[in-house]
Structure 1
Amino acid sequence: MAVVVVTDSSASLPADLVADLGIVVVPLHVLVDGRAIREGVDDEPIDYTSSTVTTSAAAPGELGAAYERALARSGGDGVVAVHISRRLSSTWEAARQAVRDVDAADRVRLVDSLSAGLGTGLPVLAAARRARAGADLRAVYDAATSAATRGRAFIVVNRTEQLRRGGRLSSAAAFFGTELVTKPILHIVDGRLELREKARTRSKSYAKLVAAAVDAAGDDGAAVAVQHLGAPEAAATITTQLTDLIPGIDELITAEFGPTLAVHLGPGAVGVLVVPGGCS
């Protein structure tokens, strides 16, 4: 058997990678008119601009059931669960509650990805690859925490209203009164989403996004991911630029933001996630 890696659906991992590496994905929820839509499971239209649409974490029971299944599949080798930043979601606290009720809880290790989207997904890949190679529980855990610690996330959004409304933007006060004439570039610092800088136009914000990612990637290889919501042309252009500017990219993933992040980021959002040194 082998260690099994678990994550939540906000990690936005492509289905082929999930299947190939045997990753267990627990769906988070989007709440629409009082109905809970399971991300990645229920295919229903969502209005990402609506002020009545919100999100919720998986319940401890859902997470616990996933951990139990993963433990059984591991044959006792253990489970490493990598989740969205505890400062951006209550998923982490639900996971802690779930572990307390799991049989053989000492064989389940939780990792705070300190990020979101593929900023969570890349550490998941690092862990799952070590698990497939036969690494023990400690080594798989270390692979996830190392990638999470090294990871950097940068995001451009059209407006911060949805982030402020959901309480996800910690430096919102610095932006009041200027948003109509600027485009915000955000980054995740110690698991918190903060305002990094501003640009006058969308094209300049994309240029700053690329520059930040290139600087973070360094010169010794990196895993890179580009995510977007309804902005495929911008994402494609940014992907091409990053490919040209970052030496030794050993992994490149492009994907749309999943519904639970899309609700908070809004249409037109584009993000770049970088792990210097890669996730192999």
Structure 2
Amino acid sequence: MIKILSDSTCDLSPELIQKYDIGIIPLYVRLGDAEYLDGVNISPEQIYKWSDEHGETPKTAAAGIEDISKYLDPSGTDEYVIFTISSSMSASFNNVRLAAEDLGMSDRVHVIDSANLSTGIGLLVVYAAELAKEGKTAKEIACEIEKTKDKVRASFVIDTLVYLHRGGRCSGLAAFFGTALKIHPRIAVSDGAMHPEKKYRGSSRRYVLDYVRDMEADLKNARPERVFITHSGCDREVVESVRKYLASLGVFKEILETRAGSVVSSHCGPGTLGVLFISR
């Protein structure tokens, strides 16, 4: 049997996790001296409250080798395809690889460095689960995913620069002027890292739709299976306006909405929204 797993930064909803029978390995979130598990016993709202009260971003950490080993069965015959957040952002990839080595399971564990985050990973995880249901071998799935990784288009538009500043990803001056001038940067993931691409201004409804409309050509060239709207807590009206726009393109069979988990939310802050898909 082939088992598909991912670390918790894939930001898939409980419904999708259940539908595709995906195992989730939670990362750690540390609020001062207190330690929590992403998606298990901490919520983004709790993180925002703590961060605002303390003026700092929570620390996050990959699951340890012992944690990961609990998801692997060295005495069985199952094969595993395991996804992690970009190796340039976390030790998650290396820890999964080391756990497989320690258990003598490297031949049965295929570790995928997604070179991405959030549902940029989730797109690949769901695709792998579909391939497994089609009867593909773990090696075939891993090879197909490696060929697909570069086609994932993951980007987000940020509502506030405060959280990026607290996490050391934005200078204090940039955060001040960004807030004062209502500047909202678009952040895209490429080559396993986050890069600023463009800045938007105005109300959330305006700048979010401007961000999505700017991707129209790429969206029309996307694989039709699905597109994700992933956000860290946005106004319902804004999310629905994005959904309506995506539906109007007539491209996607599924328009899926997910909430960003605690790890991703702790760095981007509330009001962040991304549209993520796989290009043809």
TM-score, length of structure 2 as denominator length: 0.86
Cα distance, 1:256 vs. partner? 1.0
Query: Does structure 2 retain, via aligned residues, the 8 Å contact 1:39–1:258?
Result: yes
Q: Equivalent residue for 1:7?
A: 6
**Structure 2 residue matching 1:250: 3-state secondary structure:** coil
Deviates more, 1:91-100 or 1:214-223: 214-223
Whether 1:240 and 2:244 are equivalent positions in the alignment is yes
**Structure 2 residue matching 1:7: 3-state secondary structure:** strand
Cα distance, 1:52 vs. partner? 5.1
Q: Equivalent residue for 1:37?
A: 36
Deviates more, 1:36-45 or 1:256-265: 36-45
Q: Equivalents in 1 of 2:222, 2:253: separation in Å? A: 10
Deviates more, 1:217-226 or 1:248-257: 217-226
1:56 aligns with one of 61, 67, 75: 61
Whether 1:148 and 2:152 are equivalent positions in the alignment is no
Query: Does structure 2 retain, via aligned residues, the 8 Å contact 1:227–1:235?
Result: no
Query: How many pairs align?
Result: 269
Deviates more, 1:46-55 or 1:193-202: 46-55
Residue 158 of structure 2 aligns to which amino acid in structure 1?
A: V
Change (3 A) 1:213 1:61: farther
**Structure 1 residue matching 2:110: 3-state secondary structure:** strand
* Map 1:47-196 → 2, pairs under 5 A: 47-48=47-48, 49-50=51-52, 51=56, 53-66=58-71, 68-69=72-73, 76-167=77-168, 175=174, 178-179=177-178, 180-181=180-181, 182-196=183-197
Change (3 A) 1:149 1:24: same
Cα distance, 1:164 vs. partner? 4.1
Between the two proteins, what is the percent identity of the paired residues?
25
Change (3 A) 1:76 1:213: farther
Deviates more, 1:25-34 or 1:117-126: 25-34
**Structure 2 residue matching 1:207: 3-state secondary structure:** helix
Residue 237 of structure 2 aligns to which amino acid in structure 1?
A: E
Structure 1 outlier segments of 4+, above 4 Å: 172-178
Q: Equivalent residue for 2:46?
A: 46
Q: Equivalents in 1 of 2:176, 2:163: separation in Å? A: 16
Query: Does structure 2 retain, via aligned residues, the 8 Å contact 1:84–1:116?
Result: yes
Q: Equivalents in 1 of 2:193, 2:64: separation in Å? A: 22
The CA RMSD measured in Å over matched residues stands at 2.4
Change (3 A) 1:241 1:86: same
TM-score, length of structure 1 as denominator length: 0.86
Whether 1:197 and 2:223 are equivalent positions in the alignment is no
**Structure 2 residue matching 1:106: 3-state secondary structure:** coil
Deviates more, 1:115-124 or 1:156-165: 156-165
Cα distance, 1:276 vs. partner? 2.3
Cα distance, 1:236 vs. partner? 1.7
2:279 aligns with one of 253, 276, 279: 276
**Structure 2 residue matching 1:249: 3-state secondary structure:** coil
Question: Which stretches in structure 2 are left out of the alignment for 5+ residues?
Answer: none
Cα distance, 1:91 vs. partner? 1.6
Deviates more, 1:90-99 or 1:254-263: 90-99
1:211 aligns with one of 197, 213, 220: 213
